[in-house]
Chains A and B, each alone.
Chain A
Amino acid sequence: MRRGETIPSGARRTVTGPVKPAASLRELGSVAAGLALLAGASAQARAAGYSEFIDSLQFRGFRAEASYTTDDNVTRAPAGDALRDRILGVRVSAGGVIPISSRTRVSIQGFAGTQRFSTYTGLSNNFIGTQADFFFRASGEFAAPTYGAFVRTAKEEYESTLRDGYRHAFGVTVLKPATDKVQLSGGVTYNITDGKSTVFDAKNVSLRGNADWSLGRWDTVYMGVEYRRGDSISTTGPTLSAVPSPNITDDAFSDSLRTAYRLKASTFVATLGYNHAFSGGHSLDVSWRRVQSKAQDSPPGSIDLSYAVNQFSLAYLARF
């Protein structure tokens, strides 16, 4: 589920609330840590034989995705404060595989992209990140499951300020062909978002399952369900009398004074999609996603903070 919402581009509003120390210091720290990590990794790679390491990396090409999405609740707010918008997205990625043994391998991927909101442009953002997966499969039998563990990190820069930051995820996955037409997958993920404002610091755990149903060689219907429990972030207008804490004046919106807040919530996400492949590594993907979130700790006397979201997406995907 896409987090948070908007701010029209242009003059930025003064914000009030819990904002963390200057990002430049944090970013410097992160860059320093990253450089140290790179130096360490580089030294290890040299020790292990740099050329062998590079030779073992099997490049798996590029992927690109262009999408158009309508979202009827970009504020993730109760019905009275829900705002609708349209989003254009582009994402590119490249990756490779390093075989560790006949039954294990590591996959590394780098990705970058942008999301451009039509109305609430403060929510528009650019992102860049990387993901590493470790996979284990006991045999090449048709139905043998593939187990995985992954770590992902990404840097996000919004047109507004408070949401800027990092997004990390750690998790385990399993993928198993059930029949010659149905493939099942599932996973547990621990998500961490680290925004410039503490309101946008969130942690939650998600449990998800997915089924791919092949209608033929080129057509696949997929269905997914996800249960997410933990921090959720919404933005409300002046209609909300008692705003949960922590909260902050949201700098992503300029249409009226809106407040972003974080609360504990249980969220269900259901996805229904259809993928049509063309020869040569291209496909068209249509999907509907329904999100239903229920607050776990609404403040006394406040209105129900539950919300629902409907997203319709059309995407063109290519690998080359």
Chain B
Amino acid sequence: MRPLGELDDPRRRILIQALAAGFFSSAGNAAAQLFGKAPGRLPAGQSIFRVTGRVTVNTQLATLQTRIVPGDTVETAPNAEVVFAVAEEAFLLRGASRMVIEKPPSGLTTALRLVTGKVLSVFGRGRPTRIVTATSTIGIRGTGAYAETDPEQTYFCTCYGVADIVANNDPSSRETVSASHHDRPLYILAKGKAGGSIRNAPFINHTDQELALIEALVGRTPPFVFPLDTYNAPRRDYP
């Protein structure tokens, strides 16, 4: 007679060993990594929905289990990307980016500093927020926004909502944009003429499907129904 706990059937033994080793959980994670997953409100305690490539939070390598809170610095390597949520805000940070989520100075105001790189963000309604980039300071309310910044200029698209934009080096250059669907993307220059540091820009490098994705992480839906048909990869039609 076999001792208690020893299994006769080798298939059962392999199955139990696989379960114990977390094989199916790993397989599920691998499948999700490969084919993605349907976005929904992130469970309590989870910040990151998707991480691709080398991403760090406060210089520590990020995983799906990493929590991100105000005060953290998130950094991506070139070709990396991270999709995450902090409280009622959600972000898609593209490669070669560095962003600091600042601790709110008051209960109502949050702030983030995009040191370099590209970020798509959505913010909860009724939560005034400030975005600081290399060349601009932007106050926003209930907004979806996309920003790209480098030392020379910032690209800023108010995807929807209201944004008050000021050029850092030229306070006389300021604009208030009230947008419903990418109505007025702008460039904010580091070295523009006085009063002329803000210029119109085209719609680039972000999609409505990405906005819908990050809104879903915080349980919201973007205000538009049909995505703008301006994606970057034209496809062949079926004959």
- Which of A's residues lie within 8 Å of B, judged by CB? 1-2, 60, 63, 65, 67, 97, 99, 102-103, 105, 135, 137-144, 146, 177-182, 208, 213-214, 216-218, 220, 222, 224, 226, 271, 273, 275-283, 285, 287, 313, 315, 317-319
Contacts and interface: CB of A to CB of B under 8 A. Distances in A.
Nearest to A107: B229
Nearest to B232: A277
Q: Name the prevailing secondary structure of the B interface residues.
A: loop
B10 interface: no
B233 A218 contact: yes
Contact of A1 (B205, B213, B222, B239): B239
Given A140-B223, A142-B213, A285 B35 contact: no
A60 B83 CA distance: 29
Interface string B204-239: 010011001101100001111110011011111011
A313 B212 CA distance: 33
A281 B234 contact: yes
B142 interface: no
A142 B235 contact: no
A142 B236 contact: no
Contacts, number: 100
Nearest to B214: A142
B226 A63 contact: no
19 contacts: A1-B239, A102-B225, A139-B221, A140-B221, A140-B223, A140-B226, A141-B212, A142-B209, A179-B35, A179-B38, A180-B50, A180-B83, A213-B35, A220-B233, A281-B232, A283-B233, A285-B236, A317-B234, A317-B235
A224 B235 CA distance: 13
Nearest to A276: B233
B219 to A, nearest CB: 11
Contacts of B170: none
A97 B229 contact: yes
A235 B208 CA distance: 47
Nearest to A143: B38
B151 interface: no
Contacts of A277: 232-233
